[in-house]
Chains A and B, each alone.
Chain A
């Protein structure tokens, strides 16, 4: 299958408008590969037929499937390790000391994919603070894709997924074997509220967050979209909150309100004091 130039353009614009995701020219092969399964599932003849259907029926739920098919969902438990080391060694000790009187913490994981990242945060938090159930915790994890949200809620992972990056001690403690797969146990699952949310559309009313993870999603967006998201992040993050970005992402040159936290390789950012006071 090879996609025609104007069909490629249609998909590019669709994905850009609906999800903010930029598909560079020359990525025709990727669009081909991602749309193939939808063509087969819908018993269509070709990608041309799929795009023709999208063009003629604006309200077709197929639009959403196409957009979701163009997202990259790659993730793993403890991905890159350093952010979670920073959480355990620096961020949680500082925050939990400061919030000890009110015993309240709020966390948002945007673009949580199949859930490994929020569950990693939850395990790290529970290991650091075994009495977390006595705290009032607001932990929201969101993703564009309904399928990702459903998979996250189910909390069921295959052997390859639990093998990857997850320390065996935590696997034994927080998962139970079910058939060939592994299921997250209830105490961890109920810590997190999974929801669908598009980062490039208006955001719901959020509480102010102590910690935001927004990793490996901004890389897909254009500069203006990144700037807009950082601008909104400024207003949902507490003045002394922490923002975690992916290894290939930065606020540098995009938003002056943030600066890198002095924690090596963690991708952790904080608000500069002046910006924090103004917020």
Chain B
């Protein structure tokens, strides 16, 4: 499926891209939230977006809020992939409309299981 990866760390985008491609997905990337919104417009629709919380311009949380406010993207699943690990933050992201949450650092198995879980839901 088509996946959008948004993270300001090049290294992290590489890891996610490689893992997702190994799992058979087609990957686009963005390095900040604004670029993420632009990519959605120019090359959407995406089935899934993996979103870092701490990214420039529009942060990951704001990205999720903006996307969920637009019915055009209702079908897109979003997973926060972040170093923010407080219960309140997980709850906040879910409340804003994120479908899943992955805490960094993660393993390939963790990512695969979460994606499968979303696909089954």
Min C-beta distance of A205 to chain B, whole Å: 38
Nearest residue, chain A, Cβ from B118 = A167
Asked if B70 is at the interface of the complex by the 8 Å CB criterion, the answer is no
User: Nearest Cβ distance between residue B60 and chain A, in whole angstroms?
Assistant: 14
Q: Does A228 make an interface contact (CB < 8 A)?
A: no
Q: Chain B: which residue is nearest A165 at the CB level?
A: B113
Specify which chain B residues have a CB less than 8 angstroms from the CB of A85 in the assembled complex: 120
Partner of A164, one of B105, B109, B120: B109
> Which residue among A162, A163, A167, A176 has the maximum number of chain B CB atoms within 10 Å of its CB?
A163
Question: 8 Å CB contacts to A: which residues of B9-29?
Answer: none
Q: Name the prevailing secondary structure of the B interface residues.
A: helix
Task: Write out, one digit per residue, whether chain B residues 85-121 have a CB within 8 A of any chain A CB (1) or not (0).
Answer: 1110011011000101111011101100110110010
Question: How far does the Cβ of B32 sit from chain A's closest Cβ, in whole Å?
Answer: 24
Interface residues in A236-279 (C-beta closer than 8 Å to B): none
How far, in Å, is B85 (CB) from chain A's closest CB?
7
With a cutoff of 8 Å between Cβ atoms, the chain B residues found around residue A169 in the complex are 94
Residues in chain A near residue B120, CB distance under 8 A: 81, 85
Contact B109 A81, beta carbon cutoff 8 Å: no
B87 touches A163 (CB 8 A): no
A159 within 8 Å of B (CB atoms)? yes
A81-B120, A159-B103, A172-B91 are known contacts. Are A164 and B110 too (CB-CB below 8 A)? yes
B110 touches A160 (CB 8 A): yes
Residue pair B109, A167 in contact (C-beta under 8 Å): no
Within 8 A of B (CB), among A141-177: 159-160, 162-165, 167-169, 171-172, 175-177
A159 touches B85 (CB 8 A): yes
Query: How long is the Cα–Cα vector from A171 to B110 in the complex, in angstroms?
Result: 14
B116 neighbours in A (Cβ, 8 Å): 81
| Chain A residues in 8 Å Cβ range of B94 | 168-169, 172
The 4 A-B pairs with the shortest beta carbon distances in the complex, nearest first, are: A168-B101, A165-B113, A163-B110, A172-B91
11 additional A-B residue pairs with CB within 8 Å, beyond A164-B107, A177-B86: A81-B117, A159-B85, A159-B103, A160-B110, A163-B102, A168-B98, A171-B90, A172-B87, A172-B90, A176-B87, A177-B87
